[in-house]
Amino acid sequence: MNQPLIIALTKGRILKETLPLLAAAGIEPVEDISKSRKLIFDTTDPAVQLLVIRGSDVPTYVKHGVADMGVSGKDMLLEVGGADLYELLDLEISKCRLMTAGIKGAALPQGRVKVASKFTNIAKRYCAERGLQAEIIKLYGAMELAPIMGLADLIVDIVDTGNTLRANGMEPLDLIADVSSRLVVNKAAMKMKHQRIEQVVEKISAAVVAKR
Ligand code: PRP
């Protein structure tokens, strides 16, 4: 009954924007996360612990119920699929766009198109919806290099300022989705720890509204 509520957080830029929202809900790590190599953190709320992990792993931890809740980019949720968890709240942080992009002014080849991305499921769905015959190439970073080096015709990637695309002679093409960080909850935890989760969600929700 008194098991702690475990919240999985995405490390990096999203974490910096998440911590003030959690603080507004009375949840603050008891030590400086940025100065620690630890992965599990106690908080000022003795009933809440934080996990700090890669964004691509947050939905997995929440789906398996190892974490009760999580903060995940919409891009990750679209990539891994949202089944087994509830997307309760748009935190309105880390906003960007998931887009296709290609070399400026370049026409797509006839027939099969090579698409590089770390979001291979999203890329596959995008191509299927448009009837594009595609070879999907999995990359883990620096997607912008792929068209320049002839590895791909298109990329599917996050665009924020557009500076990375511009600096590499590329242009954004189709908008696939607007992205921001979302608060997700494991479906079983939602039943078992309903009251606690609801309290936390309400406070975070109020902090999101106050920040507008
Ligand atoms: C992301 C993305 C682009 C860049 C876009 O990479 O993959 O490279 O940001 O931002 P911009 O439109 O403002 O230039 P990030 O720096 O997050 O690193 P990653 O490759 O590890 O995802």
| Residue 99 Cα to ligand 1 middle (Å) | 12
> What's the whole-model pTM score?
0.94
Looking from the CA of residue 157, the nearest atom of ligand 1 is: 7
Q: Is the CB of 139 under 6 A from ligand 1?
A: no
**Residue 1, pLDDT above cutoff 70:** no
Give the 3-state DSSP-derived string for the chain, with helices as H, strands as E and coil as C.
CCCCEEEEEECCHHHHHHHHHHHHCCCCECCCHHHCCCCEEEECCCCEEEEEECHHHHHHHHHCCCCCEEEEEHHHHHHHCCCCEEEEEECCCCCEEEEEEEECCCCCCCCCEEEEECCHHHHHHHHHHCCCCEEEEECCCCCCHHHHCCCCCEEEEEECCCHHHHHCCEEEEEEEEEECEEEEEEHHHHHHCHHHHHHHHHHHHHHHHHHC
Q: Is the CB of 160 under 6 A from ligand 1?
A: yes
What's the pLDDT tens digit per position in 53-107? 999 999 999 999 999 999 999 999 999 987 889 999 999 999 999 999 999 999 9
Domains along the sequence of the chain with CATH: 5-94+180-211 (3.40.190.10), 96-178 (3.40.190.10)
Residue of 95, 73, 104 whose CA lies nearest to 182:
73
What's the pLDDT tens digit per position in 157-208? 999 999 999 999 999 999 999 999 999 999 999 999 999 999 999 999 999 9
Q: Is the CB of 65 under 6 A from ligand 1?
A: no
